[in-house]
Amino acid sequence: DVAHSMLKVLRDEFKGIVHVSTGMTTKKEIEDVVKFFEETDQAKTRLVIYNCTSGYPVPFKDVCMLELVRLYEEYGLRVHELAFSGHHLGISIDIAAYALGAKWIERHFTKDRTMKGTDHAASLEPAGLGKLVRDLDATFHSLTYKATEILDLENEQRDKLKFRKTEKVNACTE
């Protein structure tokens, strides 16, 4: 079939990273793609699989973000990277995908979401794309462990709040 022929060209002739969406794809079809790249030992070095629900726009309940977790369980050690392709409104879902481990975030962008066409409504305009980059960057910097048990900024608050000295008021009774 045409899809398999294209994958064969991508696997055997194209030398870059191959990005494959799981939109409109069964679990068996995903497994077949991964095995196809594994036949030539290229899945771990060249194949990126995107969790995706194909629709424009996709309602939040149909994004099925936990499929990304399932993909990690099944393919995390077998493919180069896992990713998320979003066709939803807003940017919060992309942040969740990143927090769940997506190494790539794919979004459509447009000059005007009201333009005619299948995917303009689910696309990001320039300001939205900027906010997505800003929020992904903030999320990246927040996904850390504490360097010390109590951070410097916590010590200041700790001194003020946790161990503050209370003044005792002596009541005089006669």
Q: How far is CA 69 from the centre of its chain?
A: 11
Is residue 1 very low, low, confident or very high in pLDDT (cuts 50, 70, 90)?
Answer: confident
Q: How far is CA 23 from the centre of its chain?
A: 15
Query: At 111, is the secondary structure helix, strand, or coil?
Result: coil
> How far is 128 from 113, CA to CA, in rounded Å?
11
**Mean pLDDT, residues 139-157:** 93
Q: Is there a domain that residue 174 lies in?
A: no
Residue 33 near residue 7, CB atoms below 8 Å: yes
Number of domains forming the structure of the chain: 1
pLDDT (tens digit per residue) in 54-111: 998 999 999 999 999 999 999 999 999 999 999 999 999 999 999 999 999 999 999 9
Total number of residues shown for the chain: 174
Q: Is there a domain that residue 122 lies in?
A: yes
Predicted TM-score (pTM) of the model is: 0.86
Question: The domain that contains 102 carries what CATH number?
Answer: 3.20.20.70
Residue 118 near residue 100, CB atoms below 8 Å: no
Q: Is there a domain that residue 16 lies in?
A: yes
Residue 83 near residue 48, CB atoms below 8 Å: yes
Q: Is there a domain that residue 63 lies in?
A: yes
Q: Is there a domain that residue 171 lies in?
A: no
Q: How far is CA 144 from the centre of its chain?
A: 16
Q: Is there a domain that residue 50 lies in?
A: yes
Residues 6+ apart with CB under 8 A from 5: none
Q: Is there a domain that residue 125 lies in?
A: yes
User: Quick one: pLDDT at residue 77?
Assistant: 98
Please confirm whether the linkage preceding 59 is cis (ω < 30° from 0): no
What tokens appear for 167 in the block? 């003044």
Q: Is there a domain that residue 168 lies in?
A: no
Is residue 52 very low, low, confident or very high in pLDDT (cuts 50, 70, 90)?
Answer: very high
**Mean pLDDT, residues 37-52:** 98
The residue segments making up the domain with residue 38 are: 2-162
The enclosing H or E element of 139 equals helix 126-142
